[in-house]
Amino acid sequence: MITVFGSINVDISVAAPRLPAPGETVLGGESLLSPGGKGANQAHAARRFGAGVCMAGAVGDDAFAAPALEQLVAAGVDIGGVASVAGQSTGVALIVLDAHGENTIVVAPGANLAASAAQLSDQQLRDSGALLLQLETDVAASMALARRARAQGCKVIMNASPLDQGLRLDPQAVDILIVNEDELRQLASGAGVADATPAALAAALAGRYANEVLVTLGAKGALLADAGGKVLTAPAFAVEVVDTTGAGDTFAGVFAAAIAEGEPRERAMLYASAAAALACTRRGAQAAQPDRQQIEQLMASQAHATHQSTQQGESA
């Protein structure tokens, strides 16, 4: 079982031929209203993978609260840790999607910022194989929870996204930090480390924070560095990209679920990488997340392709 403390939003996304420049209006196509939020997306991904998941966070007392939670409930996520905050709006994300599946996102956090570490008991943390955090809720609340979770023997995994609030981040309170390449470079330059490969930057940060740093690299896969400088890698999976919204969340949720299950790091990264690829093949965040069978099918097909190309390379 894992616990996710994080944001719960309603996403309003519009597909457009391209992302608008500042001051420009672009006519888009179909709009989609769907559940999102980095915390909720990660909880949903972990549940789809097969983990028992407890979600903690906050929604408002408005008309968006129910649609924000409905897919979590349908998937069997325990939302007992979600507070309803009177007088607040549920978080809303405005998303523009271009023809290549890339996006821009603006979030109105609303009730998410009222989510409190007190919503989770020490017993809940003791019972969890991992606590998964992001940065769309109050960072101080997340860090307080991270320290409490560690004291209760619960592994803390944080997806440090979005990083603009990152100044109050305490990576030393986190066991595994998940970042994309931009976030890695921001953290590294803040720590005075620059001009190096992602593997070297991740290893330098892991050494400094005495933890593990996992970097998602898009089409280049992912890598994980530990404090001793050891680096593991996972490949990316080739798919036809429709919408990248929530792909990073899918990666983090599935990785945390696999780690809590006791999978070795490399295998957990492979599950996460395949799940994130599949999440790009459909519109929406949670609606696009695959189940474990679909993830394993993609892994098997890639293993087959890799094996074939190795054999062809050997005989050439």
Q: Are 174 and 57 in contact (CB under 8 A)?
A: no
Closest residue to ligand RIB, Cβ-based?
A: 36
Which CB, 9 or 273, lies closer to ligand RIB? 9
**Residue 152 class from Cβ within 10 Å (0-12 exposed, 13-18 middle, 19+ buried)?**
middle
Which CB, 12 or 239, lies closer to ligand RIB? 12
Residue type, 204: A
Which CB, 128 or 134, lies closer to ligand RIB? 134
The string of DSSP letters for 242-288 reads S--TTHHHHHHHHHHHHHHTT--HHHHHHHHHHHHHHHTTSSSSGGG
Closest distance of CB 126 from ligand RIB, Å: 29
Task: Indicate the DSSP class of residue 164.
Answer: G
Q: Residue with structure tokens 């054999």?
A: 311
Q: Which residues are catalytic?
A: 249
Which CB, 226 or 249, lies closer to ligand RIB? 249
Closest distance of CB 9 from ligand RIB, Å: 4
Closest distance of CB 68 from ligand RIB, Å: 9
Output the six-digit token pair for 75.
């998937």
Closest distance of CB 10 from ligand RIB, Å: 8
Sheet holding 103-108, edge to edge: 31-36, 9-15, 91-97, 103-108
C-alpha–C-alpha distance, residues 185 and 192, integer Å: 10
* Residues that bind ligand RIB in the complex, under the rule CB under 6 A: 7, 9, 11, 36-38, 41, 93, 105, 107, 136, 245-246, 248-249, 285
Report how far apart the first and last C-alpha atoms of the chain are (Å, whole number).
48
Mapping DSSP onto H, E and C, the string for 84-109 reads EECCCCCEEEEEEECCCCCEEEEEEC
Closest distance of CB 37 from ligand RIB, Å: 5
